[in-house]
Structure 1
Amino acid sequence: MKSDLAIVILAAGRGTRMRSSTPKVLHNIAGLPMVAHVLRGAQLLKPCKTIVVFRDVRVEQYIRNTFPDVLTVAQSDALYGTGFGVFSAIPWIRSESYGNTYPNTRHESHAEYELDACDLDTCNPASDRLNDQESLKGGRHIHTKSGDVTNNKPFPSRVLILYADVPLVPFQLLEELVRKPLKQAVGAIVTTHLDNPKGYGRVMRDNLGSIAKIIEDSNILPEQSINEVNTGVGIFDTEYLQDALNKLLKCHIAHSPNQDCVTNQDCVTNQDCVTNQDCVTNQDCVPAAHTEAHVLSPKVIVTEQIHKKAESEHQHAGQWMCRQDTVGAQNTKEEMRLTDIVEYFYNNGLRVNSITTSDSELLLGVNNRVQLAKTEKILNDQIIKRWQLYGVTIKSPETTWIDSTVQLSEDVLILPGCILSGRTRIEEGAVIGPFATISDSFIGKNTIVKRAEIIDARIEEGAVIGPFAFIRPGTVIGKDSKVGTFVEIKQSNIGPESKVPHLSYIGDANIGSHVNIGAGNIFANYDGKLKHETCIDDGVKTGAGNVFVAPVKVGRGAYTGAGSVIRDDIEEGALSLTELKQKTIPKWAENRGDG
């Protein structure tokens, strides 16, 4: 059975507190951008559609390259707030596009387009929808800017809303939220309790315990000691969500920034925005038709068609219901906040359920580098615990860092001070550390890697690396081989049972099996313009202090003398050395007066 769940991930935040040129949601945590962690969790829920709302094109590019089945929708720079973010995704929840393999799946969400698609011509007024329960059961057609039309076809009945900067939401919690029936509610949100809730929206409940509204932190009064906070994670009925967002957008457009939709409730009794201004002294609820100053927020761009539509709808009673629909009344910022729909639902007699979790540290967002580090530490602890339970010995969890993309086998031993990152895979019986750094590499069975750095390389079974070895990209170390102290190897193949024990640089080389490279050998592979290859055949023994000037080839079983500079090829089984006659001067020290 096809899932009826759509997932919207909000990734359009500016992230100014990160103080970074990189979009906040692309900052890495345990080897992956934050948004990738959220998407991986979302995919486990097997939704029929996943939509990411982005602002920075780099976010879109990453998602297109990494998660091609995910739909990306652009939120305009002119539109602020989580409400606009979700509103941008609504047409594509209802459309027939399923991922970036479809044409026209990157969509600009300018206000003139969004309203035309979702509100002005094709959707009934929100108040009418809420009073007509039967009309909510079926689909309805929408028009999109790209011409995509869905005519009374089924569409996802539920929308799960996640945030790209909240990467640690437990899958079990999401599964509970998705599987738990809404029953008589129109949605459910996840809440948690904090000893210090400053900076987070508070959940206000009525005397019966029902959620009445979410109050912005800046609007909390001193006497309101509320420590239950909204995590931002929630699931809503698609139809009710769209209707609430339509209403929220109308209020946002019809009133200037920092104005309440209604503040004097005594004079408003289930009516349109008040036309008798005598009873509203601060002009809060003046409709768009009454004053040009209240037509547009500076942050919202709308077309003349929208103005006319808003004025026309204002003339019909029962469509704005500012008293009951008090959306945005606590919004002190020039933005459209998704959380305002909770109060909207409550004031219209609709319930929003909640799931309260004690895992508060897993549900708090990342807004700065301090929170980024804290979040990564939490995730790293989870990763280490998982591998320990799987059969990996980690001697010092507090000094070990393992990316979420790393794969380990049973009976791997990780000693203190190790960093394992990227697509690293370590096989059974390997001993890693102390103080080893391995990224994007394969480490075979029973391998030993100590005090070494390995990048994008392959180490075969039984090899010994280090201490203080540097294995660079493109290198393959063969079975039972040894790379010793202060050895650097780059873009080279070292054959089985060969040894590079001491103080050497090997670059762009093919070294056969059973080869012994003497101490202090240098493979001079660069002529100032190009890199050249050195080939050392099986069984070769090189003397200490050799320099191989590439391109050069040494035949099977050949020897080179200590201190030799090898510029020409050496035939099989030969001895090659640079012959310099040794000169000795007697009594040299005495003659120069050394005493």
Structure 2
Amino acid sequence: MQINSIILAAGLGKRMKSKLYKMLHPVCGKPMVGHVLDLLEKIETKRKVAIVGNGADEIKAYLGDRAEYAFQAEQLGTGHAVLQAKPLLENEQGVTIVICGDTPLVREETLREMIRLHQESGAAATILTAEMENPHGYGRITRDEQGLVTGIIEQKDCNESQQLIKEINAGTYLFDNHKLFKALDRVTNHNAQNEYYLTDVIGIMKADGDRVIGYCTPDPSEAAGINDRIGLAEAEKLMRDRILRKHMINGVTIQDPAQTYIEPDVEIGQDTVLLPGTVLKGKTVIGEDCIIGPYSEIIDSTIEHGGTVKQSVLQEATVGEHSHVGPFAYLRPGARLGRDVKVGDFVEIKNSTLGDNTKVSHLSYVGDAKVGKDVNIGCGAITVNYDGYKKHLTEVEDGAFIGSNVNLIAPVKIGKGAYVVAGSTITHPVEEGDLAIARERQTNKPGYAQLLRNRIKARNSKKD
């Protein structure tokens, strides 16, 4: 069965009170409409049409060619919005999902179950519903003795008995594609709002003798649409709790879920431990048996099996197996650590590779460098990679020793097994096995310390 989809993404979202278009407000690091499109891609919908209006350029810039677009020049109701997709979809076969771009909490398993029920029942429409203890503000679902949906009654139209109904319309639908557009042509705007309602399609289908069913989700949060900053915060918490629960079920220890933030595309292996304050973003991949945190932020990075990251920040970096980062290290884009590497406190690595068993233990900067295996880089050593116009490469081959407070002025190469003594400023290549010394010869002046103090004291007295 072919599956098509329509994403309703044309609303202005005035209640967000924001310069950012509503559908682009992030939930767990990803714009809400992005979550919806991800969902539709997971169930392999053939055609995905986004109905855009306000903020159309921003929506298109974000979604790109992942969707087709239909423009709703005037917001005349949900039925009118769906009708804009008719030129693109009216001749397609199968079913069409209609879903709002501000409902990021709808789950893949829910849509799959709706599709299964829709196929088995031969329904013209399947409505996602939910039961709520406080259904105020939502359209109520009415059913007949066989459990088939007979209608959707909006809150303002409910009588006293209908207001007691707890099953509500969650705003996601499956339709027989041909019947959807046939019914939409008959929807009118004869109502108080002078709008064309998608829910009127249900009544038209019932009048035609078509079957309409409802699938009541066990998770009422899937019905939540985000209309303001309060709803945004609530959705953020609900999604974050889902993500954390998924990882814990899959074998990840999260010591304090209330202080742990994980975005939806993050992958984590079994027996990894996340300590309080851990923040994992983007396409980050954490292997098995890792220890992350406390208070580490990792963005679009890979930590291989057995890695440790303590109180550090990583962005677009790779940490090899059993390597140790931190505390208080910063791995910037392009940092690539091999196996059993140590990057210690207050070390910054940028656009550099460090070979297996290499150590940069403290207070150093390595940028635009290629560092081999078994290299020791001492405290305060830096690669001087920028001349004010261009970045240059530093190469340090296997087994070299870089002493404390060494400056390597790029472009420069330190050969295999070479030794650079502390305090040196290296401007020329050091060949394999050589010892490099590049510092002023020390001069001691006996008794001069007190003489210098006296001169300084006298000079300061004259200024006073």
**C-alpha deviation, 1:507, in angstroms:** 1.3
Q: 2:282 aligns with which of 404, 412, 422?
A: 422
Q: Deviation per CA, 1:179-232, whole angstroms, max 9, x where unpaired?
A: 224758532312223333344333456899865543444555788634432111
1:214 aligns with 2:175: no
8 Å Cα contact 1:562/1:577 also seen in 2: no
Q: Deviation per CA, 1:149-199, whole angstroms, max 9, x where unpaired?
A: xxxxxx424322212211221333222222224758532312223333344
Choose between structure 1 and 2 for higher RCO, CA contacts under 8 A separated by at least 6 residues.
1
**C-alpha deviation, 1:416, in angstroms:** 1.6
Residue 97 (structure 2) aligns with: 160
**Counterparts of 2:203 and 2:272, CA distance in 1:** 54
The 5-angstrom pairing of residues 385-396 of structure 1 reads 385-396=245-256
Residue 522 (structure 1) aligns with: 382
Q: 2:411 aligns with which of 551, 559, 565?
A: 551
1:579 aligns with 2:440: yes
**Counterparts of 1:474 and 1:233, CA distance in 2:** 42
**Counterparts of 1:565 and 1:489, CA distance in 2:** 20
1:403 aligns with 2:263: yes
Partner amino acid, structure 2, of 1:587: Q
Q: Deviation per CA, 1:34-86, whole angstroms, max 9, x where unpaired?
A: 23322333334444433332331332343334x3xx4x132232243211221
Partner amino acid, structure 1, of 2:80: F
Q: Which segment drifts farther, 474-483 or 53-62? A: 53-62
8 Å Cα contact 1:48/1:156 also seen in 2: no
**Counterparts of 1:4 and 1:590, CA distance in 2:** 89
Partner amino acid, structure 2, of 1:200: Y
Residue 64 (structure 1) aligns with: 64
**Counterparts of 1:74 and 1:471, CA distance in 2:** 43
Q: 2:131 aligns with which of 193, 202, 212?
A: 193
**Counterparts of 1:207 and 1:187, CA distance in 2:** 18
**C-alpha deviation, 1:474, in angstroms:** 0.6
Distance 1:401 1:586, change over 3 A: closer
**C-alpha deviation, 1:459, in angstroms:** 1.0
| Structure 2 counterpart SS, 1:225 | helix
1:228 aligns with 2:167: yes
8 Å Cα contact 2:332/2:351 also seen in 1: yes
Residue 112 (structure 2) aligns with: 175
8 Å Cα contact 1:511/1:537 also seen in 2: yes
Which runs of 5 or more residues in structure 1 are unaligned?
96-154, 253-260, 262-328
| Structure 2 counterpart SS, 1:247 | coil
**C-alpha deviation, 1:351, in angstroms:** 5.3
Distance 1:548 1:5, change over 3 A: closer
**C-alpha deviation, 1:503, in angstroms:** 0.8
Q: TM-score, normalised by structure 2?
A: 0.87
Question: Percent same amino acid among aligned pairs?
Answer: 37
Residue 35 (structure 2) aligns with: 37
**Counterparts of 2:205 and 2:367, CA distance in 1:** 68
| Structure 1 counterpart SS, 2:23 | helix
Residue 479 (structure 1) aligns with: 339
**C-alpha deviation, 1:537, in angstroms:** 2.2
**C-alpha deviation, 1:364, in angstroms:** 0.9
**Counterparts of 1:353 and 1:518, CA distance in 2:** 70
**C-alpha deviation, 1:380, in angstroms:** 2.0
Q: Deviation per CA, 1:67-110, whole angstroms, max 9, x where unpaired?
A: 3xx4x132232243211221112332234xxxxxxxxxxxxxxx
| Structure 2 counterpart SS, 1:496 | coil
Distance 1:239 1:554, change over 3 A: closer
Distance 1:45 1:473, change over 3 A: closer
**Counterparts of 1:426 and 1:567, CA distance in 2:** 39
Partner amino acid, structure 2, of 1:173: T
**Counterparts of 1:431 and 1:443, CA distance in 2:** 10
| Structure 1 counterpart SS, 2:4 | strand
Q: Which segment drifts farther, 436-445 or 379-388? A: 379-388
8 Å Cα contact 2:90/2:181 also seen in 1: no
The 5-angstrom pairing of residues 168-567 of structure 1 reads 168-181=105-118, 183=121, 186-203=124-141, 211=149, 213-218=151-156, 225-226=163-164, 227-248=166-187, 251-252=188-189, 261=190, 329=191, 332-346=192-206, 352-567=212-427
Q: 2:71 aligns with which of 66, 70, 75?
A: 75
Q: 1:27 aligns with which of 25, 28, 36?
A: 25
Partner amino acid, structure 2, of 1:192: A
| Structure 1 counterpart SS, 2:398 | coil
Tell me the C-alpha RMSD between the 2 structures: 2.8
8 Å Cα contact 2:363/2:381 also seen in 1: yes
| Structure 1 counterpart SS, 2:198 | coil
**Counterparts of 2:115 and 2:38, CA distance in 1:** 16
Which runs of 5 or more residues in structure 2 are unaligned?
459-464
| Structure 1 counterpart SS, 2:163 | coil
8 Å Cα contact 1:570/1:576 also seen in 2: no
**Counterparts of 2:443 and 2:421, CA distance in 1:** 14
Structure having the larger proportion of residues in strand: 2
8 Å Cα contact 1:202/1:230 also seen in 2: yes
| Structure 2 counterpart SS, 1:162 | strand
Q: Deviation per CA, 1:128-147, whole angstroms, max 9, x where unpaired?
A: xxxxxxxxxxxxxxxxxxxx
**C-alpha deviation, 1:487, in angstroms:** 0.7
Residue 16 (structure 2) aligns with: 18
Distance 1:535 1:183, change over 3 A: closer
**Counterparts of 2:206 and 2:99, CA distance in 1:** 22
Partner amino acid, structure 2, of 1:368: D
Q: Which segment drifts farther, 418-427 or 389-398? A: 389-398
**Counterparts of 1:433 and 1:490, CA distance in 2:** 21
**Counterparts of 1:39 and 1:360, CA distance in 2:** 20
8 Å Cα contact 2:51/2:84 also seen in 1: yes
**Counterparts of 1:494 and 1:234, CA distance in 2:** 53
Partner amino acid, structure 2, of 1:53: I
| Structure 2 counterpart SS, 1:10 | strand
**Counterparts of 1:54 and 1:462, CA distance in 2:** 48
Partner amino acid, structure 2, of 1:78: E
**Counterparts of 2:357 and 2:44, CA distance in 1:** 48
